[in-house]
Structure 1
Amino acid sequence: MKINTKGIIFTDYLYTSKFIMIKKILKVLVFLVLLILISGFVYTRYQKPTYSGAIDLKNISEGTEAYFDAYGIPHIYANNNLDAMTALGYLHAQDRLWQMELMKRIAPGNLSEILGEKLIQTDKFFKTLSVDEATEVAINKLDKTGNPYLEAMAYLDGVNQFIDEGPTPIEFTLAGVEKEHFTLTDIYNVFGYMAFSFAQAQKTDPVITNIKQKLGDDYLLDLDVLPNSQTTLIKNSVELPETVLDDIAQNIQSVTENLPIPLFIGSNSWVISPNKTKSGRVILANDPHIAYAQPAVWYEAHITTPNREIYGYYLAGIPFPVLGHNRNYAYGITMFENDDIDFYKEENHPTDSTLYKTADGYKKYANTTKTIQVKDQDPIDLVVKKSYHGPIMTDIQDEITGDSPIAIQWVYTQLDNNLLDAIYKISHAKNMSEAKAGASLIHAPGLNIMYGDAKGNVAWWATGKLYKHKPHVNPKFILNGASGEDDPIEYLDFKDNPMAENPNWGYVYSANNQPDSTANMLYPGYYLPENRAKRIVELLDPKNDWDMESTSNMMNDVTSPVHLNIIAHVSNYISNSDLNEQEMAALDVLKSWKGNSNTNEVAPTIYTKFIFRYLENTYKDELGETLFNQLLKTHLLKRTIIKQLVNDSSIWWNNIATNTTETKSAILTQSLKETVAALDAQLGTDMKAWTWGKVHTLEHNHALSAVEALKPLFNVGPFPAEGNKEVINNILFDYTDSGLYEAKGGPSTRRIIDFSDVENSMSILPTGQSGNPFSEHYSDQADMYINGEFRKMLLNKEEIIEQSRKIEFVPAK
C-alpha cells in the first residue's frame, strides 16, 4: 500500500491552521464580549445618579449639602434659600431630566421635534390652544425683583448646570435628542400643561352637543349634564354637522391618549380636626389621582434653610412644591372639576371668511403663524386663527371646512397667570391666612386646596376664577359665538368660591364631587359621582379617634357602597326564570358581595363586565360605535349610570336596532347573560377562578415603551391590582369588551401628615423617586405601593444623617 506522505502533511497543516484561526476568532469574540460587558458596566456606573461625594456647582455657597435617605429622597440643607434652590434644581435634573424634557415640550407643541411625525396632530392641538402665548404674557408681567422669580431662576441654574456637566440620560441617546437649557418659559409651559390636564370640558362638551343634535332633547334627560333645572339643561345649543362634532371629540381624545406624560384625573383628600382624632391634633390625608407612567409624576425633596423648611412634592420642571408640609402646616390638592372652558360656534361673513360675526358687527380673525419642527422631516407651518373668544380649534382638523369654526375660550389663557406666585406663597406660608392668600391667586386650573396645621386649623378652598353666564346658557353645550348673549357676564371674587374653614362637623374633604352652592348657585362643572365622597363621609362621621393607622387603612379602602346599591337595584329587575345555573350563581355572587375590590374577589370581575354590557346594550344602539366610545371616556358617564339605572321609563332602554320595544328588565337580564358567557369564554367555567387580580392589572409605562424591545428596561410591572373605579383606592381603567382592565390611573402618592407625630408622617410613590433606570430607586417602592404600604417622610436631621448618603456641594472656582 502506497502512502502519500505529502498529502498527510498538507492535511495536518490545514487542520493546524484552521485550529489556530478558530482560537484567534474565539479570543477576539471573548475580548469583544468582555469589552461590551466592561463598557456596559462603566456606562451604567456613569449613568447612575450621584448620591454621595462632592459636586462642584457655580453660584452656590459653602455649607450646602444633601443627604439621600434609603429611598433616594434628598434632604437639602443650605445657608440661604437661593443655594437650596440651586441644589434642588441640580438634583431634580439628575433624577428626572427626561421627564422634564417631555413636560416642557407638551404645552407649546414641541413633541414632534423629538418623537417624530406621530405627535404632529398633538403639536397642532397645543399650538392652536396657545399656551405659549399666555406664557409670554405672564413672564412679561412677572416681578423680576421678587423672591418667586429669584428662587425660580436659582432652581433653573441648578438644572442647567446638570445639563452642562452631568451625564446624558439614556433616553436622550436612544431618541437622538440634544439637551437644551431650561428657561422660565419652560416652567410656565409646564403650568399650562397642568391646567389643560385638569380641564374636562374639552373632552365632554362636543360629545354632549353631538348627542343632543343626533338624538334630541329627550335623550338628555337621563344624562347628568348640569346641576340646575332640566329646562336649562337642554335649552341652549347651536346646530353643527355631526361629523364636525365627532371630529372635534375624536381629535381631543386622540391627543390626550397619545401624550407621553400622564394627565391629572381626580383625587381624594380629607383633613380631620383635633376633636375627631385620638391625639387631639390635626391629620391631613391626600392622594391625587393621576394617570400612571414611569417615572411617576412627583419628585420628593426636603429643604431646610435658616428661615424655611418644607418637605415637598414637585412636578417636573416646577421649582416650588404643589404638595407639601413641615412641622407647622400641611397642604394638598384635589381637582375642583369646575367648568373653565367654553366652546363657541363662530359665524363667518357670508363672502369674506377672514371676518366673523359679533354683537358689534363683523370683526377680523387674528392670525398667527407657528412652526412645528418634526424629527427627520421638514418643518410644518401652522396658521392659528383666533376670534375674541379664543383660537379656532376646528382649523386643526383636516376634515373640517371653515363653515363650522369652533373657538375655545379658556380661563387659563384669557386671564392673568399668577401661578408661580401662588405656589410660592402656599409653599412658603407661615400660617393659614398666608396659605389662603396664595390659593386666591390661582385662576386656573381649578383646585381644591386642602389645609391643616399644628395649631388645630383645618380648611378647604376651591380655587380658580369662576364666572357666570346668563340664565339661558348651558355651558356644557357648544355656544353661540355670534350673538354675544352666551358670553360670560360676571367673574366672581375668590370669597364667593366654595370653601370651609374649621367647620363644626370636624373635618373637610374632597373627592372631586359637587360642592355646595356658592354665589347663590350650584357651580357647573364635571364633578365625579358621589361614590368616593359617600364612602369618605360614611367612614369619617361616626369615628372620633382617628390616628395614623386608621387613616392609612382608610386610604387603602376598596369598598363602594354605591356599587352595592346598584346591585341591589339591578337584581330586582333581572328575570331569574330566564337564567341558567351558571348565570344564577353569578347573580348570587353579586348579591352576597360586600362591595370590596380585592384581588382575590370574584364579584368585581362580574360587576365590571356587567356594567360594560349594560352600557353597551343601553347606549350603543343610539350613539353608534364612535360616539359611544367617546362617552365612555368622559366623567359624565360615571354620574349618569346611577341616574339612568333607576329610571324605569328611560328612553335609552329600548334597542332601536330591533323590531321590539325592550324594557329595563330585558336589557339588564340580557347584560347578565352576556356577562357570564363572556367570562366563561375568557376565564373558564370555574367561577372561583374569575378573580379580580387576573383581569385588573397595573403596569407603569415609560414614554419609550412603545418600542417593544425597550419595555423590559423601562417599564415597571405588571402587578395584579386591588381597587376599582370610584372607591377610595381609586384605580381607573377603560371599559372594554376584552374583559381586561389595565389600570390607567390612580393615587400618584398617598400622604398622611399627623401633627401629633409629624416626624413620622407617611407617604409612598407608585414606583420610585428616580426616573433613571440605572438607579436603585427607579422602582424600589413599587411593591410597597401595590400592597398599600407606606414609608416615613423624614424630617429629623439626626435620623436623616444616620441612614443617608451625603453629597457636599463645593463652590466651583
Structure 2
Amino acid sequence: MKRSLTLLAVAVAAVAAGATWYAQSKNPLRDGELALLNLQAPVSVRYDSRGVPHIQAQNEADMYRALGFVHAQDRLFQMEMLRRLARGELAEVLGAKLVDTDRLFRTLGIREHADRYAKTFDRNSPAVKALQAYLDGVNQFQDSRPAPVEFDLLGIHKRPFTIEDTVSVAGYMAYSFAAAFRTEPVLTYVRDELGSNYLKAFDLDWHPGGAVAQSLSADDWKNLNSLAHLSQQALVEAGLPQFEGSNAWAVSGSRTASGKPLLAGDPHIRFAAPAVWYEAQLSYPGFELYGHHQALNPYASLGHNKQFAWSLTMFQNDDLDLVAEKVNPDNPEQVWYHGKWVDLQSREETIQVKGAEPVKLTLRRSPHGPIINSALGATAGKTPIAMWWAFLETENPILDAFYQLNRADSLGKARAAVEKIHAPGLNVIWANAGGDIGWWAAAKLPQRPQGSNPNFILDGSTEQADKLGFLPFSANPQEENPERGYIVSANFQPQSPSGAAIPGYYNLADRGARLNERLAQPDVKWDVHNSQALQLDDGTGYGPRLLKPILDDLRAAAADETERALVEQLANWDGNHPLESTAATLFNQLTYELANQAMHDELGDAFFDSLLQTRVLDSALPRLTADARSPWWDKRGSDAVETRAETVKAAWQASLAHLRQSLGADSSQWAWGKAHTLTHSHPLSQQKPLNLLFDVGPFAAPGGHETPNNLSHRVGPAPWSVVYGPSTRRLIDLADGAHGLGINPVGQSGVPFDKHYADQAQAYISGQYLPMLFDQAEVQADSNETLLLNPVK
C-alpha cells in the first residue's frame, strides 16, 4: 500500500508539474531579450505593475512592429475571434451551431467589402506602412511563440493576420453600433399592424410616404423578427466587445482647479474577458502617446500625452436603412428600381464547418445594398429586404483618420482627422494643454428624400429609399471652445447647426442632463478628484420621472401596510442605485412588468423580446406612464377595456410576486447589489465548465441603466446581469498630462493563467483609479520587467 501511495503521489506531482509548466509556457514574456525580424534598431519594452507595455523605439516602423508583437502575446485569441466573427468564420472552429452567425456576417458584406477595399490602399502611405509593421509584429509572435490555450482547446491552426482582417474587424465594430437592424422591424410592425396611435409612445412622426408600399405577409413579419433576433444573438453569444453608448466631457481651464483643460471619458461597451482595450505607451523621437487600442488596430482609439487628449462616444446617428424590395412576379431575381426591373447581383461563398460538411451560400445584392434575408437561409421570407449601410457606401478612410488623430496637437489637426471618419458615427471630444477644447460629431450624414422616415422599413420601389448625397462636414453637430467652458457628450440627440434633421437612435437625455447639471455649477472647479465622483455617480432622474404619473395608481394597488411602505420608498426615491438600495431593485422589476403588462399582448413573444433589446423602449415608457389614454393599456383578447390603473396594479402585483420568488419574502433583503451583478464572460464560457476557468466574477454592481456609472442591464426580470458599462474610466488634467488616471475592467492580459488577467477587476467595481504612467523613470520604479527586442543579426 505504501508503494501504491508513493506511486500515486508521484503521479499527482507529475501531473501538477506538467500543468504548471503548460500554464507558464502560455504566459507573455515580459522580461529578457528576443530577436525580431525587420527591426532597424533595438526596441525597449518596459512593463509597469499593471502589465502595460511602455515602448521606446528609434523609429515609427519599429515602434508599431513592437506593439504588434506585445499586443499579440497578450491578446492573440481575442484577435483571432474578432476576425473570425467579422469574416463569418467561427463555425470552422466552433462547429455547426455558429453557422447562423457566420451566415449573418457573410450576408452583411463585411468580408467582401474588406477584401475589395483593402486593394485600394496606398501601401506607401504612412498609415498603411504603420499597419503593415504592426501586423508583421503580430504574425512574428504567432509564428515564434506558443499558441494560446484556447487555440489548443479548439484546434485552431495559425494563419497570418492581414490588412483585410483589420478592415473586417473595423466593420464588425461599426455593425455593433447599428441599432437600426434591431429597431426598424419592431417599429414598422407597430405602425403597420397596430396603427399610428400605438406609435405615439415612441415619439416618432407619422410619415405615410415612408411606408412599405407592398404589404408584408405574416411570414415576412416572422422572418424580419427572426433577423432582428439573430442579429442580437450573434452579438451576445460571441462574447466579444459591442459598442453601446458612452460619457465624455472636456472642461476648459477657466473651470478647472489647475487652469488647464481636463478631459474625462468612459466609453460604454459590452463587458467581456479579456476587456476591449489594450493599453500601451508608444514613443520614438518626435512622437509619444499613451493609447487604448482595439484588437488588430495599431492606432489608439483613445489617447493622450502631455499636449493633448481625446475620448469617444457613439454619435447614434442612423446610418443603416432597411429597404423592402418589390419583386418582379415573372422573375424573382429582379426588383423594381427607378422605374424599371433590374437584376439582383449574386455571389457564392462557402462556410467551413468543424465536424460537418461545408455550407454553400448564395448572397444577393440589390441597388440599395445586400439582401439581408439571406442570413435566414432557407426560412427567408418572400419579400427581399436590402440593407443600405454607410460603412459599405462611403469612402471611409477611418484608419488614416485615427493615425492622424494620434498626432493631432491642435484644433485644426484634430478637426481635419475627424472629418475622415465616415462610419460608424462617433463623437470625438478633444482637449489640449494650450487651452482648447472641441467636439465633433464625425460621420457622413446621408441626405434622404423629403418625407422619408428611416425609423421604418423603406419602400425600395419608390424614391423614398434613395440617398441624395451627404451633408458637408460643416453641417455636422460640433463645438469648439464654447463660452460656457465645458462640453458634455452622452449619446443624447445633438443640436444640428444647419437645422437639418439627423435621424438616429439616440439614448435618453437623462444621463447627459445629469452630467450637464453638475458641470454647469459655476462655483465648482473641476479636478481629477471631483471628476471621479461624477464618473461614479449611480443616479438618474429617469426613475422618478417614469414613476411620478402613476404613484397614485401604485398607492391604490398596494394591498397592505408592507406594500404601502414599498410604494412610499419608490415615491421618495432619488433615482440612485447604490448596492444597498431596495428601491432600485423594486423600480427595475416594475419597469419590466409595466412593459410586459402593457405591450406584450399587442406584440407577442418574439416582437416583445426584440423591443426589450432596443433603446426606443427607454424613451417610450415615461411617455406611456404619462398618457392614461394610451391604447397600450388595454389588454387585447379581453372583453373589458383595461385602464392605466388596472394595468399598473397588475404590474405591481407581478413585480412583488417575482421578487419574493427570486430574492425572498423579506423585502429588506432585496438589495440592489444582491440582484445586480457583473461577470466578465470569455467567448468559450458558453461551454460549461470552461466558464470556471475563463470567466471573472460575479461582482455586486452599483450603478444601473442610463446612470453616469452606466453598469447597465437589459430590461427584464430580476436578477440582472450587467451587460455593458464603462470599458475604461479615464481622467487627464492637461496641466499634468503625464499623470492621468484610468482603470481596466478586468486586466491588461487576455491569457487566463497570467497574473494580469483579472488583477484590476475588484478595483474597477470598487470605483478605484490607477495611474497611467508616462515618465520612464516612474515606469522603471513601478516594475523591474523589461523586454528588449533586438534586430536579427
Change (3 A) 1:463 1:392: same
The residue that corresponds to 2:399 in the other structure is 420
Secondary structure of the 2:276 match is coil
For residue 636 of structure 1, the aligned residue among 600, 606, 616 is: 616
The residue that corresponds to 2:680 in the other structure is 700
TM-score (norm 2): 0.97
The residue that corresponds to 2:91 in the other structure is 112
Deviation at 1:769, TM superposition (A): 0.1
The residue that corresponds to 1:7 in the other structure is none
For residue 765 of structure 1, the aligned residue among 734, 744, 750 is: 744
Deviation at 1:339, TM superposition (A): 0.4
Secondary structure of the 1:455 match is coil
State the alpha-carbon separation in 2 of the partners of residues 352 and 565 from structure 1: 54
> For residue 120 of structure 1, what is the amino acid of its counterpart?
V
Corresponding position: 1:723 with 2:699 = no
- Listed one character per residue, the Cα deviations across residues 513-538 of structure 1 (whole Å, up to 9, x for unaligned) are 10012432231100001120111111
For residue 215 of structure 2, the aligned residue among 235, 239, 243 is: 239
The residue that corresponds to 1:609 in the other structure is 589
For residue 539 of structure 1, the aligned residue among 515, 518, 537 is: 518
Deviation at 1:668, TM superposition (A): 1.7
Change (3 A) 1:517 1:236: farther
Deviation at 1:240, TM superposition (A): 1.3
The residue that corresponds to 2:333 in the other structure is 354
For residue 110 of structure 2, the aligned residue among 117, 131, 137 is: 131
State the alpha-carbon separation in 2 of the partners of residues 121 and 34 from structure 1: 45
Deviation at 1:23, TM superposition (A): 4.9
State the alpha-carbon separation in 2 of the partners of residues 207 and 644 from structure 1: 17
State the alpha-carbon separation in 2 of the partners of residues 78 and 119 from structure 1: 42
Q: Verify the 8 A CA contact 2:260 2:735 in the aligned structure 1.
A: yes
For residue 625 of structure 2, the aligned residue among 641, 645, 648 is: 645
Deviation at 1:684, TM superposition (A): 2.6
Deviation at 1:298, TM superposition (A): 0.4
Deviation at 1:42, TM superposition (A): 1.5
- Listed one character per residue, the Cα deviations across residues 187-209 of structure 1 (whole Å, up to 9, x for unaligned) are 11111111101111111111111
The residue that corresponds to 2:573 in the other structure is 593
Corresponding position: 1:203 with 2:182 = yes
The residue that corresponds to 1:444 in the other structure is 423
Deviation at 1:78, TM superposition (A): 0.7
The residue that corresponds to 1:808 in the other structure is 788
Q: Verify the 8 A CA contact 1:515 1:522 in the aligned structure 2.
A: no
Q: CA RMSD in A?
A: 1.6
- Listed one character per residue, the Cα deviations across residues 116-154 of structure 1 (whole Å, up to 9, x for unaligned) are 111101111111111122212321221111110111111
Deviation at 1:400, TM superposition (A): 4.0
Change (3 A) 1:711 1:395: closer
Moved more, 138-147 or 712-721: 138-147
Deviation at 1:257, TM superposition (A): 2.5
- Listed one character per residue, the Cα deviations across residues 286-334 of structure 1 (whole Å, up to 9, x for unaligned) are 1111111100000000011101001000001111110001111001100
Deviation at 1:63, TM superposition (A): 3.5
Change (3 A) 1:479 1:235: closer
The residue that corresponds to 2:650 in the other structure is 670
Corresponding position: 1:754 with 2:730 = no
Equivalent residue runs for 1:37-116 within 5 Å: 37-116=16-95
> For residue 592 of structure 2, what is the amino acid of its counterpart?
F
Deviation at 1:708, TM superposition (A): 1.5
For residue 636 of structure 2, the aligned residue among 630, 644, 656 is: 656
Deviation at 1:367, TM superposition (A): 0.8
- Listed one character per residue, the Cα deviations across residues 349-390 of structure 1 (whole Å, up to 9, x for unaligned) are 111112211114111111100111111212111010111111
Q: Verify the 8 A CA contact 1:220 1:234 in the aligned structure 2.
A: no
The residue that corresponds to 1:273 in the other structure is 252
Q: Verify the 8 A CA contact 1:113 1:375 in the aligned structure 2.
A: yes
Deviation at 1:176, TM superposition (A): 1.0
Moved more, 257-266 or 631-640: 257-266
Moved more, 519-528 or 66-75: 519-528
Change (3 A) 1:236 1:384: closer
Change (3 A) 1:516 1:537: same
For residue 794 of structure 1, the aligned residue among 762, 773, 777 is: 773
The residue that corresponds to 1:30 in the other structure is 9
Q: Verify the 8 A CA contact 1:236 1:472 in the aligned structure 2.
A: no
For residue 370 of structure 1, the aligned residue among 336, 346, 349 is: 349
State the alpha-carbon separation in 2 of the partners of residues 685 and 266 from structure 1: 36
- Listed one character per residue, the Cα deviations across residues 145-172 of structure 1 (whole Å, up to 9, x for unaligned) are 1110111111111111100111111010
Moved more, 393-402 or 177-186: 393-402
Q: Verify the 8 A CA contact 2:510 2:706 in the aligned structure 1.
A: yes
TM-score (norm 1): 0.95
Change (3 A) 1:198 1:803: same
Q: Verify the 8 A CA contact 1:78 1:84 in the aligned structure 2.
A: yes
- Listed one character per residue, the Cα deviations across residues 540-571 of structure 1 (whole Å, up to 9, x for unaligned) are 11143011100011000001122122233321
The residue that corresponds to 1:460 in the other structure is 439
Moved more, 676-685 or 787-796: 676-685
Change (3 A) 1:233 1:669: farther
Q: Verify the 8 A CA contact 1:331 1:451 in the aligned structure 2.
A: yes
Moved more, 92-101 or 794-803: 794-803
State the alpha-carbon separation in 2 of the partners of residues 774 and 356 from structure 1: 55
Q: Verify the 8 A CA contact 1:575 1:665 in the aligned structure 2.
A: no
- Listed one character per residue, the Cα deviations across residues 239-260 of structure 1 (whole Å, up to 9, x for unaligned) are 3123233232233223223223
State the alpha-carbon separation in 1 of the partners of residues 403 and 291 from structure 2: 12
Deviation at 1:689, TM superposition (A): 1.0
State the alpha-carbon separation in 1 of the partners of residues 50 and 663 from structure 2: 39
Change (3 A) 1:424 1:171: same
Deviation at 1:479, TM superposition (A): 0.8
State the alpha-carbon separation in 1 of the partners of residues 200 and 401 from structure 2: 40
State the alpha-carbon separation in 1 of the partners of residues 172 and 774 from structure 2: 31
For residue 606 of structure 2, the aligned residue among 599, 610, 626 is: 626
Q: Unaligned regions of 5+ residues in structure 2, if any?
A: none
- Listed one character per residue, the Cα deviations across residues 704-743 of structure 1 (whole Å, up to 9, x for unaligned) are 1112121221110101000110000012212333x11001
Paired residues in the alignment total 788
> For residue 431 of structure 1, what is the amino acid of its counterpart?
S
- Listed one character per residue, the Cα deviations across residues 480-511 of structure 1 (whole Å, up to 9, x for unaligned) are 11223431223111111111111111111111
Q: Verify the 8 A CA contact 2:237 2:683 in the aligned structure 1.
A: no
State the alpha-carbon separation in 1 of the partners of residues 366 and 184 from structure 2: 19
> For residue 144 of structure 2, what is the amino acid of its counterpart?
E
Moved more, 525-534 or 798-807: 798-807
Corresponding position: 1:303 with 2:282 = yes
Q: Verify the 8 A CA contact 1:238 1:479 in the aligned structure 2.
A: no
The residue that corresponds to 1:680 in the other structure is 660
Change (3 A) 1:41 1:478: same
Moved more, 162-171 or 638-647: 638-647
Secondary structure of the 2:198 match is helix
Secondary structure of the 1:290 match is strand
- Listed one character per residue, the Cα deviations across residues 377-424 of structure 1 (whole Å, up to 9, x for unaligned) are 121110101111111111332454563111111110112131111111
Corresponding position: 1:223 with 2:196 = no
State the alpha-carbon separation in 2 of the partners of residues 188 and 245 from structure 1: 28
Of all paired residues, the percent bearing the same amino acid is: 36
Secondary structure of the 1:354 match is strand
The residue that corresponds to 1:521 in the other structure is 500
> For residue 526 of structure 2, what is the amino acid of its counterpart?
W
Change (3 A) 1:402 1:236: closer
The residue that corresponds to 1:285 in the other structure is 264
The residue that corresponds to 1:491 in the other structure is 470
Deviation at 1:31, TM superposition (A): 2.7
Deviation at 1:237, TM superposition (A): 6.1
Secondary structure of the 2:182 match is helix
State the alpha-carbon separation in 1 of the partners of residues 653 and 304 from structure 2: 52
Moved more, 539-548 or 301-310: 539-548
Change (3 A) 1:710 1:584: same
